[in-house]
């Protein structure tokens, strides 16, 4: 049983790690762990990370760069999107997360990233650069997630299936958002949470369970006779 998340490893909170999962697929398939050991890691080069930062600044976007080591906002210029600023303050003040600010230092790199924009022209401008290297995932509103081409939660699942020599027919996946779409389409036993967004996810799965607040995972496991 695995956590399969868009979050990079350092952002998987201890309260989840303490549950006792067999491993983690992090960063939408870019970093994979099994039984406490790292099996796979795909990071961006420093040069590519600099291109990401420079094009985000040129397009006037707010950006959060993620790696297995850290999450970092570009604070070298004022925030333009209130949701981006709110998340930054949550990391800084609530979670007391120490974020480095020297993002142009020679040792800095990321694995993936997210952006916020104010109008579509900013996103269009940025994607003239990003579409050659990254898939843009619509997370709703003015929020987008970017994952390197060739990696997803589905590729992460396949890596783990191959590692354990488990057939795809025995794979089950539970998701609730757009970055879950690749894995929900890839596995035959796919489950959407009742509070999934967008609701189009319901059309891609074999079972829709209850909302997370209504013990949706428990009911899904019961439906498929795991418990």
Q: Give the mean model confidence (pLDDT) for residues 93-110.
A: 92
DSSP state of 91: I
Indicate whether 95 pLDDT > 90: no
* Residues 195/217, Cβ–Cβ less than 8 Å: no
Helices (H) and strands (E) in the chain, counts: 7, 12
pLDDT digits (tens, 9 = 90+) for 23-55: 999 999 999 999 999 999 999 999 999 999 999
Let me know the angle formed at the C-alpha of 90 by 86 and 95, rounded to the nearest 5 degrees. Answer: 175
In a shared domain, residues 89 and 14: no
Given 148, 181, 201, the domain boundary residue is 148
**Residue that is written with structure tokens 């049983």 in the block:** 1
Split at pLDDT 50, 70, 90, the class of 128 is very high
Same domain, 97 and 131: yes
Full residue range of the structural domain in which residue 85 is found: 46-148
Q: What residues pair up with 44 in beta bridges, in sequence order?
A: none
Helix, coil or strand: residue 19: coil
- How many angstroms separate the CA atoms of 166 and 221, rounded? 19
pLDDT value of residue 93: 92
Here the CATH number for the domain that contains residue 69 is 3.30.1240.10
**Tokens standing for residue 160:** 């783990």
Contact status, residue 51 vs residue 63, Cβ threshold 8 Å? no
Residue 98: predicted pLDDT: 87
Residue ending a domain, among 117, 148, 179, is 148
DSSP 124-153: HHHHHHHTTTEEEEE-STTEEEEEETT--H
Domain boundary among 102, 122, 148: 148
In degrees, to the nearest 5, what angle opens at C-alpha 8 toward C-alphas 224 and 173?
10
34 and 51 inside one domain: no
Q: Do 142 and 81 fall within a single domain?
A: yes
Retrieve residue 91's tokens: 């990391």
CATH code of 200's domain: 3.40.50.1000
Q: Are residues 81 and 139 in the same domain?
A: yes
Q: Which of 93-97, 154-158, 192-196, 210-214 has the lowest mean pLDDT?
A: 93-97
Q: Which two tokens stand for residue 63?
A: 């950006």
Q: Please say whether the beta carbons of 146 and 126 come within 8 A.
A: no
Is the peptide bond between 33 and the residue preceding it cis, with omega within 30 degrees of 0? no
> Above pLDDT 90, what percent of the chain?
96
């Amino acid at each position: 049983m695995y956590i399969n998340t868009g979050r990079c490893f350092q952002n998987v909170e201890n309260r989840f790690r303490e549950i006792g999962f067999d491993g983690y697929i992090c960063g939408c398939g870019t970093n994979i762990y099994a039984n406490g050991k790292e099996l796979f890691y795909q990071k961006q080069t420093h040069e590519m990370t600099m291109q990401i930062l420079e094009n985000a600044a040129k397009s006037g976007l707010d950006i959060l760069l993620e790696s297995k080591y850290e999450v970092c906002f570009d604070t070298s210029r004022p925030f333009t999107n209130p949701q981006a600023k709110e998340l930054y303050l949550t990391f800084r003040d609530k979670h007391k997360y120490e974020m480095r600010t020297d993002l142009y230092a020679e040792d800095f790199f990321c694995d993936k990233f997210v952006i916020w924009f104010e109008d579509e022209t900013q996103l269009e401008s940025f994607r003239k650069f990003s579409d050659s290297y990254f898939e843009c995932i619509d997370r709703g509103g003015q929020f987008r997630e970017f994952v390197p081409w060739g990696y997803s939660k589905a590729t992460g699942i396949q890596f783990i299936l191959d590692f354990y020599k488990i057939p795809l027919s025995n794979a089950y996946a539970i998701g609730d958002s757009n970055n879950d779409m690749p894995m929900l389409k890839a596995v035959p036993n796919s489950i959407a949470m009742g509070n999934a967004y967008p609701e189009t996810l319901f059309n891609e799965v074999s079972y829709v369970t209850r909302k997370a607040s209504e013990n949706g995972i428990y009911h899904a496991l019961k439906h498929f006779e795991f418990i």
